[in-house]
């Protein structure tokens, strides 16, 4: 995973075929965000503040209710391990 300059995020990686964005935080937690376009990953790498970009552009503002389908415009994040 490519390291990034951030106080909160250690590294970011992306799998184009599955459109999964991987984010490892400095505390060791690894999250996967599904349905992320390549353009969002590229913008994330270029962002001046990685933490702000993640909060504003990648993470959904609130978790969707369990009966709500997530559209392709929204991303869901899952912690893989810490």
List per-residue pLDDT tens for the chain, 82 residues long.
778 999 999 999 999 998 889 999 999 889 888 888 999 999 999 999 999 999 999 886 545 455 544 444 445 566 665 5
Closest to 72 (Cα-Cα) out of 33, 16, 31: 33
How open is the CA angle 69-19-66, to the nearest 5 degrees? Answer: 20
DSSP bridge partners of 9: 25
pTM of the complete model: 0.75
Q: For residue 43, what are the contacts with CB-CB under 8 A and spacing of at least 6?
A: 53, 57
Cβ 52 vs Cβ 6: under 8 Å: no
Query: Which pLDDT belongs to residue 34?
Result: 86
Cβ 68 vs Cβ 74: under 8 Å: no
Structure tokens at 32: 């996967």
Query: Which pLDDT belongs to residue 45?
Result: 94
Query: Which pLDDT belongs to residue 70?
Result: 44
Query: Which pLDDT belongs to residue 2?
Result: 78
């Amino acid at each position: 995973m490519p390291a990034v300059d951030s106080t909160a995020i250690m590294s970011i990686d992306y799998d184009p075929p599955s459109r999964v964005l991987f984010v490892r935080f400095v505390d060791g937690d690894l999250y996967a965000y599904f349905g992320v376009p390549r353009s969002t990953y590229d913008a994330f790498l270029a962002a001046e503040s990685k933490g702000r970009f993640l909060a504003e552009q990648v993470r959904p503002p609130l978790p969707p209710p369990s009966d709500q389908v997530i559209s392709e415009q929204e991303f869901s994040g899952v912690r893989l391990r810490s």
